[in-house]
Structure 1
Amino acid sequence: MTERGTPSVLTGTRIRERRMSLSRRQADIARAVGISPAYLNLIEHNRRPVSADLVARLAEELDVPAEELAEGREEVRIAALREAAAHPVAAGLTPELDQVTELLARFPGWGQVLIAHARRAGGLEHQLVDLSDRMTQDPYLLTTLHEVLSAVTAVRSTAAILVEDGEISDEWRRRFHTNLHEDSQRLSLTAQALVAYLDSFEAEGAASTPQEEVEAWLASGAPASDAGQLASDAARGMAARLQADLADDRAILPDQALADAVTNPEARADPVRLAARLDLPLDLVMRRLADLRPAGYEGAGLLVCDGSGALTLRRAASGFPLPRPGDSCALLPLYQALAVPQMALVRDVVTPDGRGFRTFSHATRSQPRGVAGPLLTTARMLFTPIDGPAPADALAIGPACRICSRAACPARREPSILVPQSTQTGPTQRDL
């Protein structure tokens, strides 16, 4: 899963320059090529190697020949100036677009100044949109703010009792002091986590939740030595548990055993038959296929959700628009599997940009606390790219409704910012 390669270290810088010249967000580009925004951020800052295959996918998404990402600085600068001229702030002005090349040749310094200002303005615009979105919709931020307010209220209430006139027994005074100590510690730890989280907003494309931190770490190849470098304690804990789970899966189904099993054509095409051939649980086989990506499953990805539909793990596949936690497409076969546990569902899907994927979904139920305990449901969706055009009967899916370009979607639950509202469809009042 780790993207390896030997291109120049400056390739990341050139990828960033081209993206900025098009005023494209890191999150949008990353989703389109099947990696996380945090991993693309590392690539653009030359902190991760990038394979020739990933360069090709990025070049396709950025509408530029792959060679230019490695060698074409001048083309990137020309594109940046053209994009600056097309910005709404230049409305009514008539820049000499046919003289861009001459401008860069005669006044390279001024050209760089103009490009730098345009990029800075574009970056600030995107950051403003991203911050607005996070401040109003980010569940991690809202929960952390609630914890801060709760701790402050508890400390204030306990302190008010202690300063009131009247006798308080020694036993109750000790209790109040203990509560005050515990609540103040909770406030301190939560405030530190909040400050660190808000600081991460300054890094474009930085992972915004512990789960996204871990997913970015997975996308980089999940090297054990890097797990301790994750920003938050919660992310480090999640990564440690995930590493342990992956190690357990590999111990039960070693890489070589899985690679040998998929050499059988029938088993390779059907995970149910593959699991039967290996005499192992289907959910384990699905996890291992997404982890190892053997022959027939190159570029595979995996989505996992709990019974509420909340995504608990996202592993990217090339070109698949990863749904955001808490805000994904209701048409994903992953959610259909929740309604029919223990039954395998196979469905071809097509993304808004026409890319096809074969999906394999399966849900399981468990009672970890015995008969008297709760019944838990977990669904998994393994997906692999389809070579060539998507089948005509493929299910049309998309990212979250708010950023989906499909106007006529029966599952739309909120207007899209990408298409006119007058053309959008969704559930009627009778449906609701």
Structure 2
Amino acid sequence: MAGDSLTGSRIRERRLMLGLRQADLARDAGISASYLNLIEHNRRRIGGKLLVTLAQVLNVEPSLLTEGVEATLVASLREAAAEARTPMVELDRVDEFAGRFPGWAEVLAQTHGRIGALERTVRSLSDRLTHDPHLAASLHEVLSTAAAIRSTAGILAEPGELEAEWRDRFHKNLDQDAQRLADSSRALVRFLDESDQAGERRGIPQEEVEAFFTAREFHFPEIEKGSVEPRDVVKAAPELESTAARKLAEAGLQIYQEDAERMPLVALRAAIETHGLAPGKLAQALDVEIYRLLRRLAMVPQDVLGHPVGLVICDASGSILMRKPVAGFPLPRFGTSCPLWPLFTALSQPGGPIRRRIHQKGRAARDSECFAISWQAEQPGFDRDPVMRSVMLILPSEHPDQPPHADSRPVGASCRICVRRGCPARREPSILRDSSGARLMQM
């Protein structure tokens, strides 16, 4: 139902809010009660002088009766309905619902947003608890110190007298361990407090580099023009605090520079206009390697592609080296990604391009078109093994409310937060629950 056809519903809601009877409003507006009844049930369109008269009687601006709720609220309701995947939801009446019950619509939209934020927090905390080296080291220090104190205390608590020399030694060890436990506990608390501040904590070099690329939307016009060298861009970046992060960022920008020189933005834009977003044809037209093209496509402005894209690069161990998140395809911050991603399949097929439609399971499930390929980052020799890399370009579907395509293969983000049941590739139980409320504990 079009938004301008809901004027009658808004007139009715405003009348009821003011406690007016239909006959009274009709009389004051100079029309019959039966005609007003047709208007309020959206069976007669209204405009011009009559709309102005009704607005004056209801003490509102005419625009509030014709424009209704904002499009963002309706979009949020549609998104909530799509992610709920309830087949009986009347999507064709969402405008009417928002127009007649704007308060409840706002509550529903805010609740949907809050649930999404909580789920993102769960993913972040899950990744952090599992893989954050700083947190793991702090917890290990606390636990090992507590174990040492428990062992020493157990010896001192045993019956019988200890020699004075040994007793003093144990007491000294106990004091030192207790001091170490206090220091490590304070450091752990300070670490957790700092991570809860408004700004996102970036204590790991890879996180600093990711924040650096994200702040510039993965595009560096100054490098494209050749007016600035990567090292100069890195020196001026406030996100790069550590020496390791600056080295990683400079290495990444050098690759960016090489790809930009091989595929200038003007030539890439012309090729896309001719062949569309087809990596195979584009690589052939530009005479470049497919892996290089996939990297390049993720580093150009969205208006060039006409479609948001994501990117993941890993090494032969499966560790994520670079990630460009995209809506509709959650990417774990630290490794342990779903082993069914084409990114990892490509490692077992060196040099073989893979195009696959996959369906990421979860609350925001949707189809994605993925292009992946692995390549030798360094040529092997008789005295050294090849250094492999794998890259995957992600094109999420623009229609998240659509069911999975018949050819889509189900995958997850990572086992720890994956809701898929009976997956043969599962490495660990999920911390989430299925729709029946049972924990997903199968292996």
- Counterpart AA for 2:366: R
What is the CA deviation profile of residues 391-430 of structure 1, one whole-angstrom value per residue up to 9, with x for unaligned ones?
1220111111121122232222222122379674755xxx
User: 1:263 Cα shift?
Assistant: 2.0
Q: Is the 8 A contact 2:127 2:332 kept in 1?
A: no
Measured in 1, the distance between the counterparts of 2:439 and 2:189 equals 42
Partner of 2:346: 337
Question: Which secondary structure does the structure 2 equivalent of 1:362 belong to?
Answer: strand
User: 1:318 Cα shift?
Assistant: 2.5
Partner of 1:354: 365
What is the CA deviation profile of residues 258-277 of structure 1, one whole-angstrom value per residue up to 9, with x for unaligned ones?
11112223xx3532232122
Partner of 1:302: 311
Is the alpha carbon distance of 1:280 and 1:215 closer, same or farther for their aligned partners in structure 2, counting shifts above 3 Å?
same
Aligned residues between the structures: 294
Measured in 2, the distance between the counterparts of 1:243 and 1:53 equals 40
Q: Is the 8 A contact 2:298 2:309 kept in 1?
A: yes
Partner of 1:376: 387
State yes or no: 1:261 paired with 2:275. no
- Which protein has the larger Cα radius of gyration, Structure 1 or Structure 2? 2
Is the alpha carbon distance of 1:371 and 1:230 closer, same or farther for their aligned partners in structure 2, counting shifts above 3 Å?
same
Question: Which secondary structure does the structure 1 equivalent of 2:412 belong to?
Answer: coil
Is the alpha carbon distance of 1:76 and 1:59 closer, same or farther for their aligned partners in structure 2, counting shifts above 3 Å?
closer
Is the alpha carbon distance of 1:81 and 1:195 closer, same or farther for their aligned partners in structure 2, counting shifts above 3 Å?
closer
Q: Is the 8 A contact 2:311 2:324 kept in 1?
A: yes
Question: Which secondary structure does the structure 1 equivalent of 2:390 belong to?
Answer: strand
Partner of 1:400: 414
Measured in 2, the distance between the counterparts of 1:287 and 1:81 equals 37
Is the alpha carbon distance of 1:341 and 1:297 closer, same or farther for their aligned partners in structure 2, counting shifts above 3 Å?
farther
Q: Superposition RMSD on alpha carbons, in Å?
A: 4.8
Higher relative contact order (CA 8 A, sep 6+): 1
Structure 1: tracts of 5 or more residues without a match: 1-51, 67-72, 84-118, 148-192, 428-432
Is the alpha carbon distance of 1:80 and 1:263 closer, same or farther for their aligned partners in structure 2, counting shifts above 3 Å?
closer
Is the alpha carbon distance of 1:393 and 1:63 closer, same or farther for their aligned partners in structure 2, counting shifts above 3 Å?
closer
1:365 is aligned, of 357, 376, 386, to: 376
Measured in 1, the distance between the counterparts of 2:243 and 2:105 equals 40
| Percent of aligned positions that are identical | 33
State yes or no: 1:414 paired with 2:428. yes
Is the alpha carbon distance of 1:57 and 1:402 closer, same or farther for their aligned partners in structure 2, counting shifts above 3 Å?
farther
Q: Is the 8 A contact 1:329 1:399 kept in 2?
A: yes
Is the alpha carbon distance of 1:306 and 1:124 closer, same or farther for their aligned partners in structure 2, counting shifts above 3 Å?
closer
User: 1:330 Cα shift?
Assistant: 1.4
Is the alpha carbon distance of 1:404 and 1:217 closer, same or farther for their aligned partners in structure 2, counting shifts above 3 Å?
same
What are the within-5 Å matches in structure 2 for residues 22-421 of structure 1? Answer: 134-135=128-129, 137-142=131-136, 200-203=194-197, 206-208=200-202, 209-220=204-215, 221-222=217-218, 224=233, 227-265=237-275, 268-292=276-300, 293=302, 295-296=304-305, 298-352=307-361, 353-368=364-379, 370-388=381-399, 389=402, 390-416=404-430, 417-419=432-434
User: 1:356 Cα shift?
Assistant: 1.1
What are the within-5 Å matches in structure 2 for residues 11-26 of structure 1? Answer: none
What is the CA deviation profile of residues 341-388 of structure 1, one whole-angstrom value per residue up to 9, with x for unaligned ones?
110111001122331111011011243574422211111111112344
Q: TM-score, normalised by structure 1?
A: 0.55
- Counterpart AA for 1:318: A
Structure 2: tracts of 5 or more residues without a match: 1-69, 83-93, 96-101, 142-186, 221-232
Q: Is the 8 A contact 1:409 1:425 kept in 2?
A: no
What is the CA deviation profile of residues 28-66 of structure 1, one whole-angstrom value per residue up to 9, with x for unaligned ones?
xxxxxxxxxxxxxxxxxxxxxxxx999998786678999
Q: TM-score, normalised by structure 2?
A: 0.53
Is the alpha carbon distance of 1:422 and 1:355 closer, same or farther for their aligned partners in structure 2, counting shifts above 3 Å?
closer
What is the CA deviation profile of residues 157-209 of structure 1, one whole-angstrom value per residue up to 9, with x for unaligned ones?
xxxxxxxxxxxxxxxxxxxxxxxxxxxxxxxxxxxx99996564122572453
Measured in 1, the distance between the counterparts of 2:119 and 2:438 equals 27
User: 1:227 Cα shift?
Assistant: 2.2
Q: Is the 8 A contact 2:343 2:390 kept in 1?
A: yes
What is the CA deviation profile of residues 136-167 of structure 1, one whole-angstrom value per residue up to 9, with x for unaligned ones?
542354468889xxxxxxxxxxxxxxxxxxxx
